[in-house]
Structure 1
């Protein structure tokens, strides 16, 4: 039995960053990974693969360049599944190699096999590497897996979840996506621009309700423009895989009794914490709903020596937050004191086509909190850089407190929205005013000019006495 300061079960974003931080501070660390590839869902089934597919879809569809240069780009042959997944596979391999090098660089031992917690300080590894390990602390970073509703014939060929969709053998002519959350909307836009006829089914009357309604409406309009059909306030019942001689592969009924069918079904109905079979409940760790491990603000479980971070603890279940949760947990374990809590607020990035990214208060939230707010808008198509790029859609919406002129929230839909939002984060967190935004000099032409012109629009919409007559 080998002793370590820390054993991390799971090598995804949260586990990797926790392990590296502990090792950087001189702690002995072991990482246990049951899959053949390192990186967890962030590398293999979630974050990076789906975002890479989005860029691939944009490339093969050519929608960003259509009509810009006089002659539209034409590919010599239609993209097949091998083409579609080529770049995804390249990025996965590159990322896994990077994680492996990071572990080697920090002298972290990696054990390939299934880890089971047999007491608060011991882990049994069974697999490629059989080992009995002991540590002062154990960190669970096993991530999540797609929730599969009962009675649905998931076969990994015609009926998929968000993991198996990454191994399809061909691009379907038609697809029904069940669930209009972030994952469902992202895949809907990816397949739609590749020419798949997509129907997006949702049990509620709207999608992505946490977004500013104006931004959400623009996203819906864009998705409908790309021929995505919304089937709202409906549930899927009785799914049946049809024999090969039928026109469609999958047939189902909606809750109102109407039929719905397609070549392929994708269920994007949420995810569950990967906590089963780890021996956690047996040693006293509390498991909550959908397999999520219950932790305190330091990410410590009911067992003092066992911590948990990332998707396995539930909301917000983002790679970005998981990485910092891992670092914070390690800081508390060993008393480093350098990173003791996750920031209260963080940006949301939705990698649909077009992208959406938001930070701070929506217009509605600001009013509910008692602000008399003013809204400024700037559109991509009005920016010189937007014209150069040929961007037809996109907007930055800035929510400002009329009394103090402080920026309360920034909401962006459009190309590289997930990149542009970080300046908005700095404005909100530093309690900057629109004067700060206007008085900055930005490279020209750039999309960052959206901020300046949204701020000018605030002056106009707010009827400020000293508002400039032109800009």
Structure 2
């Protein structure tokens, strides 16, 4: 069966879903193909479920610290089954809401199945009861990425957790070994430590989050050590052995020497890979780079005119908000003469540890490597009145400013409400507001935002 459309979207993620609705609203006969769940990684396996769990782990941490604030809580219990049930309810609500919106959109057909290219403008959709063939002049690929698990000897003999499968646990692991030092490793590591697991994090480099400045990574490491998380830098697993139904032994190489770690569960947080294999792009004109991501230009168009790739699968910053922004670029360029580009956009992000790390712009190392004339300004959290009042003075704020223009070049806010503080400074960067203006800005007292006055107050 062959069906003709004016627009096809592969993947109902954070770019595909809203784009499909917008295209249909423009009067285009549109279909969106989803092989699993509406909402993509964010709703089903990423932001929504993990942040619901982070909220529960934060509650456990708050209960453990309540005596410091004069509130005695003699006993509390982590109910993992209830935590998972709450997460599932939120995920299902978001997913079903997204599915309902797509199904109720005129000119839009939601099709479930596995999509692959027959030629540059023809898509095969494999379904349980057969195959559909869809043809369209405009095609938008939002097929996302999935967790990567390296092939290590012995791994086939043990049960491996990923950032997806760990979300199905209904109990707290006795000892969770996490392989990787990125934001997924950090969020799950702190979360499960607060739920009651012993946690060991093994990572290749000498610091967490290799893209950050050493002082930022060091701040995160110190926070984790204070919570009793075992950190093993300069390490990588070389072998796994199943000891029993309950325990696994990991052989870890640390600077060439082997060390053995006994644990109950192993989580691989070793990055993600694009879902391009199933798309059938072999011998098609849609080009892939060496890592398997779809190559796009600054307007997010592939090497085939009229075919676009949005979100994680195009190899850009792998964040939900980037995917959504990809949608806005493509849509506005097509229908609003936007002339927009994804090149050199200022992409913020937040690592949802506690305290969180809000980041945007240049790091100190990047500014130095570019030969810029800059200055580093920092403020420890114990200089923030609100932080002292709330009893949490962990972390600091660090900002890179241009000495000549007085503009803000980069922000790292590792403190309570760090993501919100970063966002304020991000907006200042976008509006070319100088740090001198913010130095004398009127902020309500006593907010965390007020710390921006103190942050820049020391600059003459």
TM normalised by structure 1 equals: 0.89
Q: Indicate the SS of the match to 1:277.
A: helix
1:288-367 equivalences in 2 (<5 Å)? 288-332=289-333, 334=334, 336-338=336-338, 340-342=340-342, 344-367=345-368
Is 2:90 the partner of 1:103?
Answer: no
**Unaligned 5+ runs, structure 1:** 465-471
Is the aligned partner of 1:85 residue 2:70? no
- Residue aligning to 1:2: 3
CA contact (8 A) 2:4 2:136 kept: yes
Q: 1:429–1:150: structure 2 CA closer, same or farther, 3 Å change rule?
A: same
Find the aligned partners of 1:156 and 1:320 in 2 and give their Cα distance.
Answer: 38
Give a deviation string over 1:352-398, Cα, whole Å, max 9, x none: 22210112222333334344433333343333322332223132222
Structure-2 separation of matches of 1:60 and 1:25: 48
| Structure-2 residue corresponding to 1:165 | 166
What does residue 61 of structure 2 align with?
61
Name the SS of the counterpart of 1:257 in structure 2.
strand
Q: How does 1:37-436 map to 2 (within 5 A)?
A: 37-62=37-62, 66-67=66-67, 69-73=69-73, 78-107=77-106, 108-127=108-127, 131-151=132-152, 158-244=159-245, 249-255=247-253, 256-332=257-333, 334=334, 336-338=336-338, 340-342=340-342, 344-436=345-437
User: Secondary structure of the residue that 2:305 maps to in structure 1?
Assistant: coil
* CA distances 1:175-221 after superposition (whole Å, capped 9, x unpaired): 11001012112211111222211111111222212223222211110
Q: 1:439 and 1:309, CA in 2 relative to 1: closer, same or farther beyond 3 A?
A: same
Name the CA shift for 1:152/1:348 in 2 (closer, same or farther; >3 Å).
farther
Determine if contact 2:207/2:214 at 8 Å carries over to the other structure: no
Measured against aligned partners, the alpha-carbon deviations of 1:105-149 in whole angstroms (never above 9, x if no partner) come to 532210111122222222222225753322111111111111121
Q: Contact 1:5 / 1:137 at 8 angstroms: preserved in 2?
A: yes
Report the Cα offset of residue 319 of structure 1: 1.1
Alpha-carbon shift at residue 303 of structure 1 (Å): 2.4
Distance 1:434 1:330 in 2: 34
1:168 deviation in Å? Answer: 1.9
Give distance in 2, aligned partners of 1:160 and 1:273: 19
Change (3 A) 1:157 1:169: farther
Q: Write the distance in 2 (CA, Å) between the matches of 1:149 and 1:155.
A: 11
The alignment's C-alpha RMSD in Å is 2.4
1:69 CA drift (Å): 4.2
Match of 2:173, SS? coil
